[in-house]
């Protein structure tokens, strides 16, 4: 056991706030499966909900480094307190739960700290006085020792729990800020936050640098801090493995460590392996874990030229490109139309050039509807785990709305027998219908009865399965979450959970497992662990999350969700 701010904890590591484990689902998975994780820091909490910045919120300037400007995305103080209550009830007591506050005023910090203290489910509270890309708060107030002193004193009045102050090495009076925090009542420091600077690739145009490029700054900063304060320090900023930790321990062996950017590209099992190897490295004097960390460009865009556009009613467009991409079943790409117009889309075809299906529902997709033949866009990917069905097995493909697009792609890749059950609001929105009819029998439902069965696709699926013998088949579902939930309930009567597969779609911003927004209830992240999950790992309709991270459970809210567009 390790002593951490007065509590005995099970492991010496945690994640930086807002990295990998950004909600209680992923935090729970990591705490339960990675024994080296001894503390969890929640997303930076503001009193009111924030959706954060539009994509791109993360870019990759070097193989081992990232720029980010998330924008304090969080569901607000009340829901964040509830999430810590849920997490506290489901993880061992030997884990230090730490809320983080990202308000912009002394009054805001004091109120949020008091509310967390009153709820009683966190062991300590981190004050984010260092974010380099927020409009109000962060480094704008964290560079002034007098302001830092006032905020820490106000927060101390609101709680007797440990207070941790997160600092940024980009301020001109770092030592003075640290001393002010200590004298005002801080119990520990976190060093360092990302270093801010301009970056045209992210929508905000300005963000914070993390990863390997930042590590020399981290080392220099903690040396400066240790020379003026004796408080415990949580070191973060570019740590990749045992060699980096040993270098920091030469300054002070009592330091604690958070690792974030280095874990980019690692699925959940990969994170487990990393920490086991790190533990072995520290005992053996090796540095093998660092070889597992982010070390290649995963977020670079390439130019794609529009070769054709096909209209399906007023709200759906099929975009074809001259260039192709080697994508497996279920994989997706990011489409970028200038700064601030970026979204993920499931691959609809990669047979004779990349094809994407876009439904117009927001600012980015409205912009996509303005594209013309020969326009140039930018695309990165593909992302997600490649997936394939057993070649000899029949697959019943169930696609609703935009979910027909990845159904088409999956069918193109499956050499075995195929059966299709498709649904849309109206006949005009039934994409790829002729192509799919060439691959196998097709039944169609429409909400308005303009083609085929009038009603929902799950009801049609039930009729098909009751009249046809498809024993031994696998099932593949994609579309709005409410439609997949209906299909799942039907299919469980005819097949074991391991033969039912769902292509899950969530708010997805990075695609390399760092932002954590795309987690499913199990705690896995779809961009890196999925996006295809068997029914024993995922049950559609349980809940999803909006851009703030708030759980969406209401069926009416779920009805329109599920297509990346």
Active site members: 131
The alpha-helical segments, DSSP class H, found in 499-551 are 526-529
C-beta atoms surrounding 455 within 10 Å: 14
Nearest to 100 by CA among 243, 297, 236, 264: 236
Q: Are 21 and 40 in contact (CB under 8 A)?
A: yes
Locate 482 and state its tokens: 């409410």
Task: Give CA–CA dist 52/546, Å, rounded.
Answer: 11
Q: Which residues contact 497 (CB under 8 A, 6 or more apart)?
A: 534, 535, 536
Nearest to 130 by CA among 138, 122, 120: 138
Locate 501 and state its tokens: 């597969």
Task: Give CA–CA dist 404/397, Å, rounded.
Answer: 9
Cα within 13 Å of Cα(534), Cβ side: 10
Q: Are 247 and 287 in contact (CB under 8 A)?
A: no
The alpha-helical segments, DSSP class H, found in 195-347 are 215-226, 242-251, 268-284
Q: Show contacts of 180-185: CB within 8 Å, 24+ apart.
A: 180/145, 180/146, 180/148, 180/149, 180/152, 181/129, 181/148, 181/149, 181/152, 182/229, 182/231, 183/149, 184/148, 184/149, 184/150, 184/152, 184/153, 184/156, 185/152, 185/153, 185/155, 185/156
């Amino acid at each position: 056991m390790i002593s951490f701010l007065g509590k005995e904890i099970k492991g010496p590591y945690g994640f930086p706030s807002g990295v990998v484990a950004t909600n209680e689902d992923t935090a729970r998975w990591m705490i339960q499966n990675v024994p080296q994780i001894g503390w969890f820091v929640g997303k930076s909490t503001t009193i009111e909900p924030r959706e954060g910045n539009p994509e791109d919120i993360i870019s990759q300037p070097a193989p081992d480094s990232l720029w980010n400007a998330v924008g304090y995305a969080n569901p607000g103080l009340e829901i964040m307190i509830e999430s810590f209550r849920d997490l506290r009830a489901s993880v061992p007591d030997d884990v230090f739960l730490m809320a983080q506050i990202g308000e912009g005023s002394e009054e805001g910090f004091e109120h949020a700290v008091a509310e967390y203290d009153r709820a009683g489910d966190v062991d300590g509270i981190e004050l984010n006085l260092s974010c380099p890309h927020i409009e109000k708060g962060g480094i704008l107030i964290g560079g002034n020792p007098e302001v830092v002193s006032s905020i820490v004193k106000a927060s101390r009045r609101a709680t007797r729990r440990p207070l941790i102050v997160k600092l940024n090495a980009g301020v001109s009076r770092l030592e003075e800020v640290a001393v002010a925090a200590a004298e005002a009542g801080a119990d520990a420091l976190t060093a360092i936050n990302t270093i801010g600077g301009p970056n045209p690739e992210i929508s905000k145009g300005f963000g914070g640098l993390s990863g390997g490029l930042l590590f020399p700054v981290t080392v220099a900063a903690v040396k400066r801090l240790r020379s003026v304060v004796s408080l415990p320090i949580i070191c973060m900023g570019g740590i990749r493995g045992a060699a980096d930790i040993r270098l920091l321990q030469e300054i002070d062996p009592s330091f604690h460590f958070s690792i974030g950017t280095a874990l980019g590209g690692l699925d959940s099992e990969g994170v487990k392996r990393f920490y086991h190897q790190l533990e072995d490295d520290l005992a053996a004097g090796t540095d093998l874990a660092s070889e597992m960390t982010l070390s290649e460009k995963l977020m670079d865009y390439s130019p794609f030229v529009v070769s054709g556009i096909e209209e399906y009613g007023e709200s759906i467009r099929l975009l074809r490109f001259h260039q192709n991409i080697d994508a497996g079943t279920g994989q997706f790409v990011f489409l970028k139309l200038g700064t601030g117009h970026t979204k993920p889309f499931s691959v609809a075809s990669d047979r004779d050039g990349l094809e994407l299906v876009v439904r117009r529902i927001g600012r980015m997709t409205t912009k996509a509807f303005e594209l013309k033949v020969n326009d140039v866009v930018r695309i990165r990917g593909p992302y997600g785990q490649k997936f394939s069905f057993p070649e000899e097995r029949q697959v019943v493909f169930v696609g609703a709305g935009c979910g027909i697009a990845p159904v088409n792609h999956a069918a193109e890749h499956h050499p075995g027998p195929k059966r299709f059950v498709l649904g849309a609001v109206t006949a005009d929105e039934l994409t790829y219908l002729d192509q799919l009819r060439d691959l196998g029998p097709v039944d169609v439902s429409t909400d308005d009865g303009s083609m085929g069965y009038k009603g929902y696709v799950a009801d049609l699926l039930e009729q098909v399965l009751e009249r046809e013998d498809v024993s031994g088949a696998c099932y593949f579902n994609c579309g709005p979450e409410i439609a997949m939930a209906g299909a799942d309930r039907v299919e469980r009567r005819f097949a074991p959970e391991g033969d039912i597969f769902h292509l899950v779609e969530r708010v997805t911003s990075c695609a390399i497992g760092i932002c954590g927004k795309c987690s499913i209830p199990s705690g896995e992240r779809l961009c890196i662990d999925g996006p295809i999950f068997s029914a024993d790992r995922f049950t559609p309709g349980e809940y999803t999350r909006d851009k703030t991270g708030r759980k969406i459970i209401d069926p009416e809210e779920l009805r329109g969700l599920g297509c990346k567009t």
